[in-house]
Structure 1
Amino acid sequence: MPESVKSKRPAAGPQPLKTKAEKRAEAKVAKARARAARKRREVLTMVGAAVVVVALLAGLVLWIKSSSPTQPDPAASAAPEPAAAAPSAAAFPPLPEGADPALSTKPVVKAGTGKVDKLKTTTLVQGAGAAVESGQTIDVNYVGVTYADGKEFDSSWSRSESFSFAVGAGSVIQGWDQGLVGVKVGSRVQLDIPAELAYGEKPSGTQPAGVLRFVVDVLSAA
């Protein structure tokens, strides 16, 4: 190939010298790059450490839960509270103060003997209270039987409830209105009542006919 057409390359020569300002600028750039790289490494290190700490804490919590004994549910383990006791019923019978203990027991009333042609009041237990007067309201317990056979037809004891009425007001049979006047509170008396002072000679509904016998406890009078 002719020398005239050969490409000629310029000979490598020495590079031009950099000025101090350029050197300082390059040094600043290098330092900035180095600081940026160091900060990136620091951030990555901190992030990695945080991830490790979180993982350790989560593992610790799981380990504590799995290793600790199961605590019983307070609602399930608590013993049931006892049901509130129902208020006790009023004492029966309501005896007056100082009454004979016999009045706390239902009397046994038997059939009578002989003819009953008038009202008869017999004291079985003498009370210490005031005598009953006509017009007073009295509270009593009683058992009623037919005189001839002693068959019980009524009793306040069977209801566990005493009976109150006004003496002489006609709200009860005449045998009661008349036979309980003068009886002392706290007494137990037996009333033998002829038919004309009771429900008559003929039965009417649930009311017994004929002569009746009652044993009555006078509990109060006012």
Structure 2
Amino acid sequence: MKTKAEKRAEAKAAKARARAAEKRRRALTVAGAAVVVIALVVGLIVWIGNSTSSTPAASPAATATADAPTASAAEATSAAFPPVPEGADPALSTKPEAKAGSGEVTELTTTTLIEGTGPAVESGQTVTVNYVGVTYADGEEFDSSWSRSETFDFQVGAGNVIQGWDKGLAGVKVGSRVQLDIPADQAYGENPTGGQPAGALRFIVDVLAAS
């Protein structure tokens, strides 16, 4: 039979073992929690890395798109037509209406609709123009630089255009809008080939530059 001293010793030892066991349990709990936290942090870092690499801003295609002209830039480019000279009448920014004429066109006639303030065009110069062309008899439009949103350049007097243009635009001031009534013999003739209009023609021409 155990003495009281032995019983007290055993009780103390049991308490010591219990305290040790509790410490180990707590240590394992803390360690386990730390592992979970570390795993979560690592997982979060990996997820952020993957998310960043898949965003449009990091892809080559997105970079190329960012360097491309924006819609507003394209609209600005389109809005630059026509290139009206500085100080010219704002009406040159609007397409004119060319109507049919009356009577017979027997000679070339240049009628100034808007007089510009720039220098007069000389033979041999290259001019930049906007124009609308209609048949004189019925006013049917057959050509227009406005419909292409593109001006037309040519050398005055070089024979690269019809005579009515070579002769009718010489002396016209830059910034002017003129009406050219051109007889058939200074246009494409009465029986042209290649789809050109026959007979007398009427052009409304804006002279935008000369050099």
Give the alignment's TM-score, normalised by structure 1: 0.68
Distance 1:108 1:79, change over 3 A: farther
Q: Which has the larger radius of gyration?
A: 1
Residues 218/66 of structure 1: CA separation in 2 closer, same or farther (3 Å cut): closer
**Structural mapping, 1:10-89, within 5 Å:** 56-62=30-36, 73=48, 75=51, 84=66, 85=70, 87-88=73-74, 89=77
Q: In the alignment, which residue of structure 1 is the partner of 2:204?
A: 215
TM-superposed CA distance for 1:204, in Å, is: 1.4
Match of 1:149?
138
Q: Residue 130 of structure 1 aligns to which amino acid in structure 2?
A: P
Cα 1:167–1:66 shift into 2, 3 Å: closer
Query: Is 1:99 aligned to residue 88 of structure 2?
Result: yes
Structure 1: state its 5+ residue gaps.
Answer: 1-48
Matched, 1:166 2:155: yes
Instruction: Compare the two structures and name the one with the higher helix fraction.
Output: 2
- Letter of the structure 1 residue corresponding to residue 31 of structure 2: L
Q: Counterpart of 1:220 in structure 2: which amino acid?
A: A
SS of 2:119 mapped into structure 1: coil
Partner deviation per Cα, 1:127-181 (whole Å, 9 max, x = no partner): 0000000000000000000000000000000110000000000000000000000
Match of 2:102 in 1: 113
**Displacement after TM superposition at 1:54 (Å):** 7.0
**Partner Cα separation in structure 1 for residue 163 and residue 199 of structure 2:** 14
Distance in 1, matches of 2:40 and 2:153, equals 74
Cα distance in structure 2, aligned partners of 1:53 and 1:198: 104
CA distance in 2, matches of 1:60, 1:148: 95
| Match of residue 129 from structure 1 | 118
Query: How many aligned residue pairs are there?
Result: 172
1:138 to 2:112 alignment: no
What is the CA–CA distance in structure 2 between the aligned matches of 1:98 and 1:79, rounded to whole Å?
49
3-state DSSP of counterpart to 1:218? strand
What's the RMSD between the two structures over aligned residues? Answer: 3.1
Q: Give the C-alpha shift of residue 57 in structure 1.
A: 2.1
Q: Using the alignment, how far apart are the partners of 1:54 and 1:163 within structure 2?
A: 87
For 1:171 and 1:54, the matched residues in 2 are separated by 96
Which is further off, 53-62 or 207-216? 53-62
For residues 49-75 of structure 1, the C-alpha deviation after alignment (integer angstroms, 9 at most, x for no partner) is 99x9577424332157669xx787473
Q: Which residue of 2 aligns with 1:13?
A: none
TM, length-normalised to structure 2: 0.72
Residue type of the alignment partner of 1:166: Q
**Which residue pairs with 1:10 in the alignment?**
none
Q: 1:98-119: CA deviations, max 9, x gaps?
A: 0100000000110001111000
Q: How far did residue 93 of structure 1 move?
A: 0.2
Distance in 2 between residues matched to 1:176 and 1:156, nearest whole Å: 15
| Post-superposition offset of 1:79 | 7.8
Matched residue of 1:102: which SS? helix
User: Which residue identity lines up with residue 59 of structure 1 in the other structure?
Assistant: A
Q: Which amino acid aligns with 1:142?
A: Y
Note the C-alpha offset of 1:206: 1.8
Whichever residue aligns with residue 33 of structure 2, its letter is G
